[in-house]
Amino acid sequence: MKQVTNTSWNTFWWIIGSICMPLSIPFIVHKVMSQLRLRKNKDILEGKVVLITGASSGLGEALSHTFYMAGCKVVLAARRKEELERVRTDLLEMHSRIVTHPPVVIPMDVSDLSTLPEKIAQIEETFGHIDILINNAGISVRADVVSMAVDLDVQVMLVNYFGAVAVTKAVLPKMITRKEGRIVCVSSIQGKFSLPHRSAYSASKHALQAFCDSLRAEVAEHNISVLCVSPGYINTALSLNALTASGRAYGVTDENTATGASPERIADDIRRAILSEEKDVTLAPLLPIAVQWLRLLCPSIYFWVMEKRARRMNASN
């Protein structure tokens, strides 16, 4: 009996090994190559012109500090000029020993599509070009599909998707002419799988990822790289400022957001992803990554889990 049990266990581990080994080898090779590229490119950010949208708070503010400390010429863009000025002052006071161009403030509303080419031209007139564009501006929403007016869907898509597309289109001509440039789009793990009451947000982030995949292929011949970043929950005011079905602010920092990763950590991970020449990275804990794979490999179970989640959410409202 003991021999039969041992044989069964050996067979089980042989099967596990046969499945895991082919998957683990490419993963290990990718990690090694990423580390080699990271070491090779560790100093390439110095002096680069970096445009960061949504730079007035949260992840955008953290990105501003990260790239300023890396020696970049940082351009801070967002709607709230007074908050941008605060971030600029913080950069100058907190990193006074950093020798680089003083941060430039550009008030910019990415949902006002017609004004964006002029804003980009203003930046290019100041610096000559933009080396790295980080499309970070975004809004979230907490509302079920039935209760949410279509106008709200349009508003979320306008900021999270069309705004990023319009800014990207505005910077591309100069990048193509120079045969150099990097486009970074901050998506979300919820762009890879959707949750109940997040339809507009997930749809906008999913669209952004699809845009990046097409763009990456098209501009590769011009030596322009495209990175799509999909973070999990980040401890910022995103849920606090999220829109509800009525269009008002959600006004609550939910538990997942409060216990999320620090914006400083995610900002540094994005810096490392750029240096490692990554194309698509997910910056999330194990559970969201497992759900992503569940959606891909066993969608029927994923659908069942999400239905249960939706029922619980509806019952609590």
Residue with tokens 């900002």, as numbered in its chain: 267
pLDDT tens across 125-147, in order?
999 999 999 999 999 888 899 99
Residue 90: exposure state from Cβ atoms within 10 A (0-12, 13-18, ≥19): middle
Longest dimension (CA), the chain: 80
Q: What was the pLDDT predicted at 32?
A: 58
Mean pLDDT of the chain: 87
How many angstroms separate the CA atoms of 212 and 193, rounded? 17
pLDDT tens across 68-86, in order?
999 999 999 999 999 999 9
pLDDT tens across 198-217, in order?
999 999 999 999 999 999 99
Residues known to be catalytic:
201
DSSP three-state, residue 223: coil
Q: What was the pLDDT predicted at 19?
A: 58
